[in-house]
Amino acid sequence: MRDNNESSINLEDAYALETPDDNRNLYRTWASTYDDDFALRNKYVYPKSISSICAGLVDTTSQLSILDIGCGTGIVGTCLSELLITSIIDGVDISPEMLQVAQSKMRADANPVYSQLFEADLTKSISFADAKYDVAISAGTFTHGHLGPDALINVLSVVRPGGRMVVGINKEHFGANGFNASLQQAQVSKRISAPTFSEVQIYDEGSPHYGDLALVTTFLVLSPT
């Protein structure tokens, strides 16, 4: 990967990452410009779509505890807080710089979007949350160069039995990296209910990346570990 300055980082750089340390390094530099230079400029609509899918599956009036997996600068949490007003949203990410931006995000009522933010590498054993969340959601993190199917199975442990996962996975990444087999295995061993899938655009019309698709999978976690 080339030596980046803030304005030269692009999607290809992010997709070419190989390790958690690569991710830490790229997002350290990208955090301050991610919202404007990446999300706004590329018409990144995925957080809004996945939040709508999530809101359509849960009781929008109850006080749900939700974990945003790979929350980055907090775009998913912000969209969710507009739809699930009474929810308590926490976030987790490997990048302290991305988390610092997420911490600054405010709800419409001027309270912080996120109640708690955790710095963690989700390829490793998870210690900050044990089967406590009603819902875990994720957009943009299960993609090329980031998290694969092992991490998806790893994060089941944060959801309470009977809680729900709503996880977006880049469609090409899904097909190339054995997500289907991992989900099937988790279903057969009764760790999760049968997953359902819907396809969403990651970027809106007019974006240079329009046409890139994600599969949003949703299922109940029956046995977190």
Ligand X SMILES: C[S@@+](CC[C@H](N)C(=O)[O-])C[C@H]1O[C@@H](n2cnc3c(N)ncnc32)[C@H](O)[C@@H]1O
Q: Does 136 bind ligand X (CB under 6 A)?
A: no
Residues 194/171, Cβ–Cβ less than 8 Å: no
Q: Binding of ligand X at residue 126 (CB under 6 A)?
A: no
Among 13, 37, 121, 212, binds ligand X (CB under 6 A): 121
User: Which of these segments, 105-113, 117-125, 158-166, 191-199, binds ligand X (CB under 6 A)?
Assistant: 117-125
157 binds ligand X (CB under 6 A): no
Q: Which of residues 63-102 bind ligand X (CB under 6 A)?
A: 70-72, 75-76, 93-95, 98
Using the contact rule CB under 6 A, the part of the chain among 57-65, 104-112, 116-124, 195-203 near ligand X is 116-124
Indicate the residue type of 195. Answer: P
Query: Least distance (Å) from ligand X to the CB of residue 190?
Result: 27
169 touches ligand X (CB under 6 A): no
**Cβ-based nearer residue to ligand X, 186 or 202:** 202
Q: Near ligand X by CB under 6 A, which window of 105-113, 119-127, 129-137, 158-166?
A: 119-127
Work out which of 4, 123, 185, 193 binds ligand X, going by CB under 6 A: 123
Choose between 20 and 178: whose C-beta lies nearer to ligand X.
20
Strand pairing partners for 135? 66, 164
What is the three-state SS of the chain?
CCCCCHHHCCHHHHHCCCCHHHHHHHHHHHCCCHHHHHHHCCCECHHHHHHHHHHCCCCCCCCCEEEEECCCCCHHHHHHHHHCCCCEEEEEECCHHHHHHHHCCECCCCCECEEEEEECCCCCCCCCCCCCEEEEEEEEEECCCCCCHHHHHHHHHHEEEEEEEEEEEEHHHHHHCCHHHHHHHHHHCCCECCCEEEEEECECCCCCCCCCEEEEEEEEECCCC
Pairing status of strand 159-170 against strand 213-220 = antiparallel
Tell me the closest approach of the beta carbon of residue 198 to ligand X, in angstroms: 17
CB of 59 to ligand X, least distance (A): 24
Give the nearest residue (CB) to ligand X: 72
| Footprint of ligand X (CB under 6 A) | 20, 23, 27, 47, 70-72, 75-76, 93-95, 98, 121-123, 139-141, 146-147
